[in-house]
């Protein structure tokens, strides 16, 4: 008897069509004739892939390439590095990739960590050097070239390839739901912030880590997540949900394997720079420890409200202003709130009626980190994009969040321009409102994900898959025996020897 590969069996399952399953898309489809009909050709079916070039997956990949090409055009006014008259703010095309090519001395051939401190985790520093130093060498031999433009384009090309690879991973994880990946491919946040910094390096590595876990390769998943964590810290937070879910499913060995290999990879990448150039390597930790409240955070909103309600007279401080002047306390409070949020997610994971999906918990943990962090840079929105797509692939709340991100992006550049020219573009309250809406929509997404964890019948992914397509060794695994006993503790016994009531 012939056997069928896992991928083929996965493809053979019932597919999802957003015009039928997603309320917003279904309503919008009425403008072009209504939802997909019963006799329409579905581009995501295996038989159709054999006869048509433009399958659903290829359309989504093409859309991602289009978004990234438009992003490159949007950043083009800044690519020559001649930022006159605050063009980087008026055209909203600022990028750290170009600015730090000069600020970090890469244009002079300085090697990250060896010759100067770097404000980013070590793998990002290596990445900057790997692409920037060859451009410097090329410029030495060809002084007529614009090194900044070449450096930006080299980084943009590699980062865009990582973004497309992330879309491909989402498609691989959602073979029956290829249109989910369009949320990432068409996201305004990707268009606006793809190459503002090097975050797509960590996102691409973390995406492959998710894929390795889904393919039941916990050691490889740990290595990839560890490397991602060496580029930006947030992928390490995914290890917590992996461990908690492995505990609930009695697959603790796989969870510990992923955590262990992640730590090994993290240490292996950091160790050379940490030993040889300790002071320069430590810059990232020093900066994050001493940094005050940054723009657009929960704490920034609180500082603004302090100024509106504080009537204590000159020299008095509201609570948020006091925290900004006492950075160690601010740090510990931020860590404590994030820790409590993680504890809440762990309790939710263990007490939910059905074991949550990995992407759901990963999204909640990373979102909690951003909500309570004292720093929320404009490009950090990219961290949440693939997690939202995997956790809750529904267009309505996603679009509301993206609209809020567009508003914040515009307000942020208005604030930058006002700061650079000492002439406010608009009142500070406008920027605070934009930050509040961004924060509020992320909180809304968290609430909706929690609701779907508590009511798994509302989960769109579970409508298509029996359990968790990202779960790997957890997918379809029964809960450990102790979970059901812990979730369903017997009610207190009725008191005995109670006298019977007497008749009136």
Q: Domain segments of the chain: what residues?
A: 39-476
Residue in 471, 448, 447, 458 with CA at minimum distance from that of residue 353: 458
Query: Crossing angle of helices 381-391/428-454, nearest 10°?
Result: 30
pLDDT at 377: 95
- The alpha carbon torsion through 48, 50, 51, 52 (nearest 10 deg) reads 70
pLDDT at 29: 42
The rounded distance, in Å, linking the Cα atoms of 114 and 404 is 41
The rounded distance, in Å, linking the Cα atoms of 315 and 332 is 25
Query: For each of the chain's 504 residues, which pLDDT tens digit applies?
Result: 333 333 444 444 556 666 555 565 545 444 444 455 555 555 455 555 555 788 999 999 999 999 999 999 999 999 999 999 999 999 999 999 999 999 999 999 999 999 999 999 999 999 999 999 999 999 998 999 999 999 999 999 999 999 999 999 999 999 999 999 999 999 999 999 999 999 999 999 999 999 999 999 999 999 999 999 999 999 999 999 999 999 999 999 999 999 999 999 999 999 999 999 999 999 999 999 999 999 999 999 999 998 877 656 656 788 999 999 999 999 999 999 999 999 999 999 999 999 999 999 999 999 999 999 999 999 999 999 999 999 999 999 999 999 999 999 999 999 999 999 999 998 989 999 999 999 999 999 999 999 999 999 999 999 999 999 999 999 999 999 888 777 666 545 555 555 555 443
The rounded distance, in Å, linking the Cα atoms of 162 and 172 is 15
pLDDT at 19: 52
pLDDT at 54: 86
The rounded distance, in Å, linking the Cα atoms of 38 and 17 is 11
The rounded distance, in Å, linking the Cα atoms of 112 and 96 is 15
Q: How many residues make up the chain in this entry?
A: 504
The sign of the CA dihedral 150, 152, 157, 159 is: positive
pLDDT at 493: 52
First to last CA, the chain: 80
Q: What are phi and psi of 187, to 5 degrees?
A: -65, 125
Q: What are phi and psi of 250, to 5 degrees?
A: 60, 40
In a 3-state reduction of DSSP, which class is residue 129? Answer: helix
Q: Are residues 342 and 236 in contact, defined by beta-carbon separation less than 8 angstroms?
A: no
Alpha helices (H) in 174-277, listed in sequence order: 182-185, 188-193, 199-214, 218-231, 239-248, 252-276
């Amino acid at each position: 008897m012939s056997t069928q590969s896992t991928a083929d069996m996965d493809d053979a399952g019932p597919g999802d069509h957003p015009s039928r399953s997603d309320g917003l898309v279904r309503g919008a489809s009425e403008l072009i004739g209504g939802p997909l009909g019963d006799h329409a050709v579905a581009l995501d079916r295996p038989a159709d892939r054999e006869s048509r070039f433009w399958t659903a997956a290829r359309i989504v990949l093409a859309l991602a390439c289009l978004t990234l090409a438009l992003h490159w055009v949007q950043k083009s006014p800044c690519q020559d590095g001649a930022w006159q008259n605050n063009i980087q703010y008026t055209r909203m095309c600022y990028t750290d990739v170009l600015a730090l090519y000069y600020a970090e001395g890469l244009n002079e051939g300085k090697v990250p960590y060896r010759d100067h401190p770097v404000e980013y985790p070590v793998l990002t520093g290596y990445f900057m050097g790997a692409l920037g130093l060859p451009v410097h060498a090329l410029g030495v031999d060809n002084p007529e070239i614009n090194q900044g433009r070449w450096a930006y384009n080299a980084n943009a090309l590699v980062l865009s390839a990582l973004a497309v690879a992330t879309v491909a991973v989402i498609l691989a994880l959602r073979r029956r739901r290829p249109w989910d990946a369009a949320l990432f491919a068409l996201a305004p946040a990707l268009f606006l912030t793809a190459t503002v910094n090097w975050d797509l390096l960590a996102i691409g590595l973390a995406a492959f880590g998710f894929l390795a876990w889904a393919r039941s390769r916990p050691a490889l998943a740990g290595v990839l997540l560890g490397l991602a964590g060496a580029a930006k810290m947030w992928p390490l937070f995914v290890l917590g949900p992996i461990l908690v879910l492995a505990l609930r499913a009695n697959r603790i060995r796989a969870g510990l394997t992923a955590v262990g290999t992640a730590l090994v990879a993290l240490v292996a990448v950091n160790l050379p720079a940490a030993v040889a150039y300790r002071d320069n390597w430590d810059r990232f930790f020093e900066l994050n420890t001493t940094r005050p409240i940054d723009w657009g955070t929960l704490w920034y909103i609180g500082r603004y409200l302090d100024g509106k309600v504080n009537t204590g007279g000159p020299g008095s401080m509201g609570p948020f202003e006091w925290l900004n002047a006492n950075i160690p306390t601010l740090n510990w409070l931020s860590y404590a709130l994030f820790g409590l949020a993680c504890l809440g997610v762990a309790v939710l994971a263990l007490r939910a009626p059905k074991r949550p999906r990995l992407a759901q918990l990963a999204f909640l943990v990373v979102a909690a980190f951003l909500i309570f962090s004292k720093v929320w840079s404009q490009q950090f929105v990219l961290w949440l994009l693939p997690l939202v797509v995997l956790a809750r692939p529904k267009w309505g709340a996603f679009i509301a969040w993206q609209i809020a991100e567009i508003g914040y992006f515009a307000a942020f550049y208005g604030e930058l321009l006002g700061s650079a020219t000492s002439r406010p573009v608009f009142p500070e309250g406008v920027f605070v409102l934009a930050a509040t809406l961004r924060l509020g929509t992320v909180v809304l997404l968290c609430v909706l994900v929690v609701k779907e964890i508590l009511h798994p019948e509302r989960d769109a992914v579970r409508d298509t898959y029996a359990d968790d397509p990202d779960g790997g060794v957890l997918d379809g695994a029964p809960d450990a025996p102790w979970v059901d006993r812990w979730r369903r503790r017997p009610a207190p016994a009725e008191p005995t020897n109670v006298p019977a009531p007497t008749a009136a």
